[in-house]
Each structure stands twice: as C-alpha cells, then as structure tokens.
Amino acid sequence: MAVNDAAAVRELLGSTGVRVREAVPLAELTTLRVGGPATVAECTTTDALVATVRALDSAGIPLLLVAGGSNLLIADTGFDGVVVRIATEGIRIGSDTVLAEAGADWDEVVRASVAAGSGGLECLSGIPGSAGATPVQNVGAYGVEVAQVLRRVRLLDRETGEIRWAEPGELGMRYRTSILKHSDRAVVLAVEFAVNPDGASAALRYGELARMFSAAEGETRPAADVRAAVLRLRAGKGMVLDAADHDTWSAGSFFTNPVIEHQDARAVIETIRAHVGDVTIPTYPSEDGIKFSAGWLIERAGFGKGFPGPAAAARLSTKHTLALTNRGGAAAADVVGLARTVRAGVQERFGIRLEPEPVTVGIEL
C-alpha cells in the first residue's frame, strides 16, 4: 500500500471509525504554523487511537502522532505516511488526582484542576500543547516540572500491543526529556497527576514568580492566584497562544538551557566573561551540573529580540529571545535557517552548543 494513498488508508481504517483527510497542510496542526501536507487520521476516542495505531503498524505504514502540535517542526515537504491526530479530550478531576486523556488541551487541564479547588499544576499554566506530551518532554516552567506532579501514564506498547499504566520511575524523566521522547515504541493514552486538595499552590521556587507575591522561597499561595500570575508573566513574554500576535507563532522555547558538568562549568564561565565582562551570569543548579540560560546566551552572542529584523519571515520573538517565531509567511526552512544561525553564533562566541527542544520531522538543524 502506498503510504500517501488516502483511499487505501480509509479502507484500512474503516472499522476504527476515524475520519481520514488527505493532503492536509500540517502547518494547520502546529503552533509554529509550518509544515507540508500529509494524510491525517483523526482519533477522538482512545479506542479509535489504539485501533488506528495497531492497524497502521500491522500494515507497515509510517505514522506520526500529533496532538497539540506545540513542540513540532515539520519539513515543508510534509510527512510521507499517516499523521495520527490525537483528539481525545477527556478530563476527570478526583479528590487528589487529575486524569487527562492524551489529546486534552494542557492549559484546560490546569484550568479545570484549579477551578475544582486543586493545587499543584498552576505553575504550568499557559503552556500550549496536549496533556499526553507533558511527560514525554517532562514539561516545566516557573519552578515546577511534570516529573514532580506525575502519578502515572497509560501507555500502548506498539511492539507487544500491551496497554498498561507506567510509574514515573520507569520513564527516565530528566530536564526536558524522558525515554518516551527518544523512542516511538510507546503511545501515551492518558496521564494522571497528583494534586493538592486544599487548593494550595506548589511551593514557589521561581524568583520572578515568588516576588510577585512577596513570598519567601518554598512558600505557597492560593493556586488560582498563582495561575493568574503565571499567565500574566507568560503573556508578557509571548508565551500564551494568541492568533493575532506573531510572537506566539512559535514552538515556545526553541532551545533547552544548556547543562554543563561541574568540572567544566568554571572554564565556561571564564570564556563567557572574556566576551561580556565581569557580569552576573545567570546559572542554576542541576542534578547533572550547572544550568545556563539559553536566552541570556543568545542575547549576549549578539542576537537581540526581533533578530534579524522586520523583513525576515522567521525572527526571534520581540518579547523573548528564546522563541523562534513565524511572522506570518515563514516556511520550515526559514525557521531552521534562523535556528542554525543562532546556534552557530552562540557556539562560536561561548563554545556552548545549544540543543533544540522541538521534535523535528523530515528536517535537521
């Protein structure tokens, strides 16, 4: 079967009840709004998702799983296979847990949790994408990572066909990664989080956020108040989706903050100071070493907000140098070209190689 034969795919998936569309611009399914065409199978139930993945795998047809599309950079040539659109949306709030199907909008999960009087997820407000992607990336912001609040993940094993719940300890979750990110073997079907039934927020550990409440590090505040503050902070950085604001046509933070092993960190700091002078360099402790701010390095390497200028189809955000944005007419090649320029400049100036956070499909930096 030809992987781009939509009629054959419809026949194969007829019993699953999914809708199959052909030649769908994948730019419509990603927050960067770039990506060429593909056949798309829309799965609105978990049963349909499982049946679709199993049928495509049995037929040897390549598939690409897409839900919120917030962490994807897809080539202008599209995807030569079937894009399985995860459109499951269920959210169930328990006394001390939140259970979300993989396709549920992540910020809606957080909103519903806070509205029900639960705390713990509010620092992750405003992050675009789906609930199912959060353990894959070990999503984090404002002092909280998914690894800290994750209770379990329901997975489909594509090799054995088994469906089971996996504990966090099985997932190898570290800074912005997990074993799920580096393998296509498992499909996330649902995610369960532990929350605080008393409505108190997670401990405030991010300085900018804690200062908004005049809170000492580790104190808590009402989850609803913290969610509102996080949304304000993110909006000010162009990190809350807004169709009218091209600064939000992005994949969020495009590069991860580099982590340098302890024995190498002092030499890196000396290299940076040789270029920028005796200034305070923002660093943060990490289990693997010392974490440096990618946004700070990008700006100090000469790439300011809005680089390379208003005529460019792809630019750094005018609000935040860590976001690469589509100004309305960019192609994937434009975004990749900008990413290469920025990464090469930081490496040349400071000797640090930045790593992209988005998953790339059919294209490499």
Instruction: Show which residues are catalytic.
Output: 176, 253, 357
d(C-alpha 174, C-alpha 165), whole Å: 20
User: 136-149 burial, b if ≥16 CB within 10 A, otherwise e?
Assistant: bbbbbbbbbbbbbb
Query: From the CA atom positions of the chain, what is the Rg in Å?
Result: 21
Q: In sequence order, what are the residues at sequence separation of 6 or more whose Cβ sits closer than 8 angstroms to the Cβ of residue 75? A: 35, 36, 332, 360, 361, 362, 363
Residue 117 near residue 94, CB atoms below 8 Å: no
Cα 266 to its chain centre, rounded Å, is 31
Q: ∠ at Cα 83 (150, 362), nearest 5°?
A: 95
* Contact call for residues 139 and 124 (beta carbons, < 8 A): yes
Start-to-end CA span in the chain (Å): 31
CB–CB of 43/85 below 8 Å?
A: yes
Main-chain dihedrals φ then ψ at residue 119, nearest 5 degrees: -125, 165
Question: Cα–Cα distances in Å, from 90 out to 127, 190, 363?
Answer: 18, 9, 33
**Taking the CB of residue 246, how many other CB atoms lie within 10 A of it?**
18
Instruction: Give 20-43 as a DSSP string.
Output: EEEEEEGGGGSTT----EEEEEEE
